[in-house]
Chain A
């Protein structure tokens, strides 16, 4: 099972996990990214490259399925305006082996950060806005998976 969704709307984490559990592998790992509040942040605006996003996330998923013995995976990434506490991204993986489930989940989220065409803009209570800068550590982390095998 491979489920990839790029959507404006929210998603149901329990339903996503249940679908992965139903594959019968015995091990399910997941990561949920949520908009962090604080510092006067009132919203995060996620822009993406529609013609590329789905294809690119599909590629990243295929890579994970080729590297680990997975029974299924699910990746959901939202776009549009999201307020603190809102879910942004979900990655779930199912396998017979916990190492495969946990590692592939970490791989997917690291790769999404540096290989999926999304950009975040912060909106603050005082009217200020600013584009989030890419973190060098994220790119290094994603590249780190290339050295493994």
Chain B
């Protein structure tokens, strides 16, 4: 299983802080997984439909959406950060 955590408006639109999903097939990228989730429709489509607005982290490190998930345990999906 892979844990996905959501933040900010991604979290609000999906309506979940985190969830477990089946581990994607070998070689799957973050973008592949995001596309699969967006296809669930509803809040998922609203949150994840436009991948250009998303940023991601694998095991607490920022990664591009074209990164292969591999054996990472936690994927985070969120909008561009606005700290400081």
| A contact residues vs B (CB 8 Å cutoff) | 33, 46-49, 51-52, 55-56, 77, 88-89, 109-110, 112-121, 131-134, 138-139
Residues of A within 8 A of B9 (CB): 131
Taken together as a complex, chains A and B put the C-alpha atoms of A131 and B7 apart, in Å, by 11
From the candidates A49, A51, A109, A131, name the one contacting B84 in the complex (CB within 8 A).
A109
CB pair B82 A118 closer than 8 Å: yes
CB pair B84 A33 closer than 8 Å: yes
Q: Nearest CB to that of A55 among chain B residues?
A: B60
Taken together as a complex, chains A and B put the C-alpha atoms of A112 and B82 apart, in Å, by 9
What's the A-B contact tally at a CB cutoff of 8 Å?
73
Residues of B within 8 A of A139 (CB): 80
Asked whether any CB of chain A lies closer than 8 Å to the CB of B35, the reply is: no
| B contact residues vs A (CB 8 Å cutoff) | 5, 7-9, 57, 60-62, 74, 76, 78-84
Main secondary structure of the interface of A (DSSP, over half): mixed
CB pair A120 B82 closer than 8 Å: yes
Taken together as a complex, chains A and B put the C-alpha atoms of A112 and B7 apart, in Å, by 17
With contacts A109-B84, A114-B81, A119-B78 taken as known, whether A56 is within 8 angstroms of B60 at the C-beta atoms is: yes
Q: Nearest CB to that of A56 among chain B residues?
A: B60
Residues of A within 8 A of B61 (CB): 52
Q: How far is the CB of A136 from chain B (nearest CB, A)?
A: 9
CB pair A117 B84 closer than 8 Å: no
CB pair B84 A119 closer than 8 Å: no
CB pair B74 A89 closer than 8 Å: no
Q: How far is the CB of A31 from chain B (nearest CB, A)?
A: 9
Q: How far is the CB of A30 from chain B (nearest CB, A)?
A: 14
Residues of A within 8 A of B83 (CB): 46, 48, 77, 89, 112-113, 116-120
